[in-house]
Amino acid sequence: MAQAGRSVLLLDRAGRIKPCGGAIPPRLIRDFAIPDHLIVGRARTARMIAPSRRAVDMPVDPSGAGGYVGMVDRDTFDEWLRDRAAKQGAERRTGRFEAIVRDGDGGAQVRYTDGEGDHRVRARCVIGADGARSRVAEAVFDDAVRNLCVFAYHEVIRTPQPGTAAFDRTRCDVFYQAEFSPDFYGWLFPHGDTASIGVGSAHKGHGLRDATSRLRVRLGLDSCVTLRREGAPIPLRPLRRWDNGRDVLVIGDAAGAVAPASGEGLYYAMLSARFAAEAVDTFLASGDPRALGAARRRFMRAHGLVFRILAIMQHFWYRDDRRRERFVAMCADRDVQHLTWHAYMNKRLIYARPLAYARIFAKDMRHLLQTAS
């Protein structure tokens, strides 16, 4: 928007680091021109661990052509994004959002506070990018406070010395085990000199810190230096509306633009931001607030089907350890691996391989019947 000549204010709190596994697909790196120095790790395999402790490796690029999933540290990655916006003309301010208030003619004013007191800024349009429990969303959408979430907690640790059996700098480990999470998963993601280890669960009474400690002990990583401890909710479904039909729009986690089952949000947050910027630019040029609705329509047209499939998968396969055992067994299938990685890396389904989908459907039904028996 700043590049388009709009007057943009970027308001953000100081010292906030978004808890995140930090995985970004090649599609994000290409579409948003992410420089190589921000890629702190390259994951070439995902290891899925079943309740029985059976491990299934899913190579990112079985052909050996060098494909990988990029890993970023949100501390440096987010600051680079903010700085890039400022260099393109956005004005950065540090403060805490308090409310949207209306002036005499009904225009929006953003009220925020900082070390110097209370401030108000008039805006023709407000974009809320303030996370799963978005105060912007809660101010304008009735369903925002009721949106289901997984609560995630992780610890960023110093990477252990080479040769540690439980740690591989090129592998993401995902634990589908009730002893760590009764309804989601635990993880260990490499970030070069650091690593993220944590768990997620929608059960509010589940002890995330304790589960993370036990996971560290299991992997022999309990003696590693802990650099940060962070937690945040992860939304499980997009909001029904992203705009108020007037002058407020939400994006990213605030809009629920997070993939079910995996909790992946970085690519979807950045894509929703791009759609939102284009929708707001159209709104400002035309004066027609209906233009704001294009952001959600475009996003759901591109990814709504995948989100629905992932939600169904999470609802069924994550329910108990018996089903998760079957789920991990399916991950060993070559068709599943190929189509899963292609969809993840490129953010689109492969409709040119109907036989592969037919084989997966048949195998899926076999596992479903075995689970139900």
For residues 317 and 64, which has the higher predicted lDDT (pLDDT)? 317
For residues 153 and 362, which has the higher predicted lDDT (pLDDT)? 153
* SS3 annotation, 250-312: ECHHHHCCCCCCCCCCHHHHHHHHHHHHHHHHHHHHHCCHHHHHHHHHHHHHHHHHHHHHHHH
**Distance between CA 261 and CA 253 in Å, rounded?**
15
Phi/psi zone of residue 5: left (φ > 0), alpha (ψ -120 to 50 degrees), beta? Answer: left
Beta bridge mates, 57: 47
Question: Hunting for tokens 């700085």 — which residue is that?
Answer: 83
**What is the number of other CB atoms lying within 10 angstroms of the CB of residue 49?**
21
Length of the chain measured in residues: 373
3-class state of residue 157 by DSSP:
strand
Give the mean pLDDT of the chain: 90
User: How many CA atoms are closer than 13 Å to the CA of 247, on its beta-carbon side?
Assistant: 15
**What is the number of other CB atoms lying within 10 angstroms of the CB of residue 54?**
12
Q: Residues 176-202: what's their mean pLDDT?
A: 95
Per the CB < 8 A criterion, the answer to whether 198 and 156 are in contact is no
pTM of the model: 0.92
Q: Tokens in use for 47?
A: 């290891």
Q: How confident is the model at residue 204 (pLDDT cuts 50, 70, 90)?
A: confident
**Distance between CA 287 and CA 244 in Å, rounded?**
15
Q: Is the pLDDT of residue 245 over 90?
A: yes
- Residue 213 has phi, psi (to 5 degrees) of -60, -45
Lowest mean pLDDT among 116-120, 201-205, 255-259: 201-205
Q: Tokens in use for 16?
A: 């906030």
What pLDDT sits at residue 372? 46
For residues 115 and 14, which has the higher predicted lDDT (pLDDT)? 115
Distances (CA, A) of 102 to 50, 122, 142, 260, 286: 53, 9, 19, 36, 22
For residues 346 and 145, which has the higher predicted lDDT (pLDDT)? 346
Beta bridge mates, 108: 102, 123
Q: Is the pLDDT of residue 297 over 80?
A: yes
Per the CB < 8 A criterion, the answer to whether 107 and 122 are in contact is yes
Q: For residue range 95-112, list pLDDT tens digits in order.
A: 999 999 999 888 999 999
What is the DSSP secondary structure assignment for residue 120, as one 8-state letter? E
What pLDDT sits at residue 373? 44
Q: Tokens in use for 120?
A: 């108000």
Lowest mean pLDDT among 17-21, 296-300, 303-307: 17-21
**What is the number of other CB atoms lying within 10 angstroms of the CB of residue 128?**
26
3-class state of residue 41 by DSSP:
strand
User: Hey, what's the torsion of the CAs at 104, 108, 111, 112, to 10 degrees?
Assistant: -160
**Distance between CA 247 and CA 243 in Å, rounded?**
7
Per the CB < 8 A criterion, the answer to whether 128 and 41 are in contact is no
Q: For residue range 246-276, list pLDDT tens digits in order.
A: 999 999 999 999 999 999 999 999 999 999 9
∠ Cα 189 82 22 (to 5°): 10
